[in-house]
């Protein structure tokens, strides 16, 4: 037995590095091992390089790099069992928390929102990624790894989109549509065309694809979920009652005007009230036309039934992009202020008789904030509620008018 020289050891080390062994500890292990083999088995020192080349294939099946790859794999997943434990705990935690949250929501109890957030965050950012990592590791083929990766992205997105929808946070619909687009246009084609090629997986792939397509279709139908027929009916009834009441009080007022001798101040009251109510009717007609999606001749009840829940139309019709009310609405407010001043001067100083046009406190995004009368009554409200609030306003004007007569 002889001892290898420094340059021979250097040669082996360099060759090991060149063959893809990058971890220093592994380089040292293999260097010592190869040196031991050579020092024990080599008979003729002059054939060092040739002998080295002949024993090297003992260390691998394809190439030396596979020792590095196997080591890296084992070291990367040294926390495999911890990951598996966290996977199970986070999965069970998310499921139970979500169920309790849903239960609380069903019973209108507090804490539902918090539990939803905790459950879906832990599901999307712990359970799904861990599951994906562990499943990818089990797969040998790259195509399967890609499918798992896409499925994970879809899963995380659809969970977050659901959370955002339930919590009424912005971008919920964008996330929802993006995740469905990933499902239909990326995941499903990749999954289908990968699985169908092999005769072993063909049937299962077709069945699974149908199930995925159906489930995705069901989710898609939930995209633009409207209020139930009963909710629509309640909103409509509320609006209708106010409208009828306003017409009734208005008619009573007209009778009162005709039976009494009209004084100049009453005449002026009648003119002012009619003027505002006429302006409001014009604005309502404009809003109905604007919200009718191009359909002609729709009545107020039809608009409420068909497009009442739309949040964008009323705001877009009554407010500018920068959030300020449009001139038509402000003109009504100006007349209402004048009407109040007139009533106060001519008939009653009692504030309860007057229309309430003050700014109000409301819990907004920045805690309590002061918002104007027009924002409070018309900004970011559905078409149905906006129309209802206009009718309420007309009724209030007619009631003030009735009190004064």
Partner 1 sequence: MYSSELIKGTLKTIILKLLSVNDKLYGYEITQMVKELTGGKIQLTEGALYPTLHALEAQGILSTEVVNVGNRIRKYYSITQTGKKVANDKVDEFSEFIGTMMDLLDLKPKLV
Query: Which residues of the chain form contacts with partner 1 (CB under 8 A)?
Result: 3-6, 9, 23, 25-26, 28-33, 35-37, 58-61, 66-67, 70-71, 73-75, 78
CB-based contact 351:291 (threshold 8 Å): no
Element (H, E) at 362: strand 360-364
Residue closer to partner 1 (CB basis): 76 or 275: 76
Residue closer to partner 1 (CB basis): 41 or 295: 41
Residue closer to partner 1 (CB basis): 13 or 146: 13
Main-chain phi, psi angles of 371, to 5 degrees: -125, 155
CB of 84 to partner 1, least distance (A): 14
Rg (CA), the chain: 38
DSSP state of 332: H
CB of 145 to partner 1, least distance (A): 21
Is residue 273 exposed (0-12), middle (13-18) or buried (19+ Cβ within 10 Å)? buried
DSSP state of 320: -
CB of 90 to partner 1, least distance (A): 22
Cα distance between residue 38 and residue 52, in whole Å: 7
CB of 62 to partner 1, least distance (A): 10
Cα distance between residue 52 and residue 54, in whole Å: 5
CB of 11 to partner 1, least distance (A): 12
CB of 60 to partner 1, least distance (A): 5
Residue closer to partner 1 (CB basis): 29 or 328: 29
Label residues 314-339 b or e (16+ Cβ within 10 Å = b). bbebbbeeeeebeeebeebbebbeeb
Residue closer to partner 1 (CB basis): 47 or 72: 72
Contact residues for 335 (Cβ-Cβ < 8 A; gap 6+): 272, 275, 276, 279
Residue closer to partner 1 (CB basis): 32 or 281: 32
């Amino acid at each position: 037995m002889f001892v290898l020289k420094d340059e021979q050891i250097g040669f082996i080390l360099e060759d090991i590095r060149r063959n893809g062994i990058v971890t220093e500890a592994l380089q040292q292990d293999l260097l010592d091992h190869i040196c031991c083999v050579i020092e024990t088995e080599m008979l003729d020192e002059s054939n060092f390089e040739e002998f080295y080349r002949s024993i090297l294939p003992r260390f691998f099946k394809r190439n030396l790099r596979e020792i590095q790859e196997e080591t890296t794999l084992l070291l990367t997943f040294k926390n495999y069992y911890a990951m598996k434990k966290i996977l199970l705990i986070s999965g069970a935690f998310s499921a139970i928390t979500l169920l309790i949250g849903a239960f609380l929501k069903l019973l209108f109890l507090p804490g539902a929102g918090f539990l939803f957030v905790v459950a879906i965050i832990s599901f999307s950012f712990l359970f799904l990624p861990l599951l994906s990592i562990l499943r990818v590791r089990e797969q040998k083929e790259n195509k399967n790894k890609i499918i798992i990766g896409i499925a994970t992205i879809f899963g995380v997105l659809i969970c977050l989109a659901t959370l955002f929808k339930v919590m009424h946070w912005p971008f919920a619909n964008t996330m929802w549509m993006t995740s469905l687009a990933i499902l239909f246009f990326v995941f499903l084609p990749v999954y289908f065309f990968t699985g169908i090629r092999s005769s072993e997986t063909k049937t299962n792939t077709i069945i699974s694809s149908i199930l995925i397509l159906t489930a995705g279709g069901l989710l898609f139908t939930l995209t633009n979920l409207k209020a139930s027929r009963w909710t629509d009916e309640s909103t409509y009834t509320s609006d209708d009652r106010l409208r009828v009441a306003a017409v009734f009080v208005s008619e009573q007022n007209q009778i009162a005007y005709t039976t009494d001798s009209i004084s100049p101040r009453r005449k002026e009251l009648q003119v002012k009230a009619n003027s505002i109510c006429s302006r409001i009717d014009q604005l309502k007609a404009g809003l109905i036309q604007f919200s009718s999606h191009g359909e002609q001749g729709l009545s107020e009840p039809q608009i409420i039934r068909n497009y009442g829940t739309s949040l964008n139309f009323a705001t877009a019709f009554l407010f500018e992009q920068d959030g300020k009310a449009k001139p038509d609405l402000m003109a009504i407010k100006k007349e209402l202020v004048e009407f109040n001043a007139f009533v106060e001067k001519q008939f009653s100083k009692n504030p309860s008789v007057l229309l309430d046009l003050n700014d109000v406190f409301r819990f907004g995004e920045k805690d309590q904030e002061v918002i104007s009368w027009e924002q409070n009554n018309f900004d970011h409200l559905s078409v149905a509620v906006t129309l209802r609030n206009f009718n309420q306003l007309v009724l209030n004007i007619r009631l003030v008018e009735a009190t004064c007569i």
